[in-house]
Amino acid sequence: MENSNLELAAAISEVGRGYDIIKQLQGLLQLKSRKGQDAVQMQELAEPLFRDGLQALNHALCILKSGVSKVEIKSENVMIESGSPVHSSGSVVCYESDQRIENGRGKKRRVGGNSWITNTTMPYDDGYQWRKYGDKKISGTNFSRSYFRCTYKEEQGCQAKKLVQQTSDKLDMPFFQVTYTNKHTCSSQKTRSPSPIPQISTFGSIELQDNSINEKLHLQESIPITPRQLNQASCFGDLNLRDIIRSVSMNERNCEWDLDSLLRDLVDFASYDCPL
């Protein structure tokens, strides 16, 4: 009972943080419309806010649906088992120690350190710089698995790793499972240069860039959908909060973003009674 109260307090705190960040974004966008800030400047300012806001809301969902107060589970030698997550927040699945992940042939994989999994329509920009160190065709699947480690592993000893596995090739919405292992201990967040060509780890910034880049990367415009639809989908593990922002930023780019309706939709999203 005491734990529930603590978890609720933690969730409220995270939602409050998300609210504050959205208000900052609102101010930023109003500034943009008044002063005509250019897209690159806008992107640089908005990206960290988007990221922090998503993180706060993801944490809150994780807490509310599971009772676990942190997305990251502290443990050594985490084992992950498909189908038995401790909980799911729609976009984030958290695992405790002694869990395993199973491949298509029944083999179980041990993952060292703190691990958590997100499902996404693209291996989005998480604000960190990654270096790809491997790529493996996984038996029983049609897709290869890509292995990334933090760019600052040598310099700063950061042990963070990321594993990207495409799980669906639906033309309108390819789907990826992203497994993170170990927390970042480096200070790499948002230190990349504002290159117009996104790297593999920077898909999340594509929305504000030109269409030709999207075409080169075979990325597709997401269909604008309401937060209610998104939350329903999120509850069934089909979409995540980042997709909301993606959808929102698409509309914003097309000059269709109405701040009042966005805030109304976010309130609607937050109050929707998830069937799970």
Cα–Cα nearest to 274, from 38, 60, 130, 86: 60
CB of 115 to DNA, least distance (A): 10
Could you say which of 31, 200, 267, 276 contacts DNA (CB under 7 A)? 200
Dihedral (CA of 108, 131, 181, 246) sign: negative
Asked if 253 touches DNA (CB under 7 A), the answer is: no
Q: How far apart are CA 54 and CA 247, in angstroms?
A: 13
CB closer to DNA, 88 vs 146? 146
**Interface mask (CB under 7 A) for DNA, residues 137-176, using x and -?**
xxxx----xxx-x-x---------x-x-------------
How many residues line the site for DNA (CB under 7 A)?
33
Please answer whether residues 24 and 53 qualify as being in contact, where contact means their C-beta atoms are separated by less than 8 angstroms.
Answer: no
Asked if 128 touches DNA (CB under 7 A), the answer is: no
Give residues with Cβ within 8 angstroms of 37, minimum separation 6. 31, 45
Asked if 131 touches DNA (CB under 7 A), the answer is: yes
Q: Could you say which DSSP state residue 168 is in?
A: E
Q: Could you tell me the two tokens for 245?
A: 């922002």
CB closer to DNA, 51 vs 149? 149
Asked if 108 touches DNA (CB under 7 A), the answer is: yes
Residues facing 94 on adjacent strands: 87, 116
Asked if 130 touches DNA (CB under 7 A), the answer is: yes
Residues that bind DNA (CB under 7 A): 101, 103-112, 129-140, 145-147, 149, 151, 161, 163, 199-201
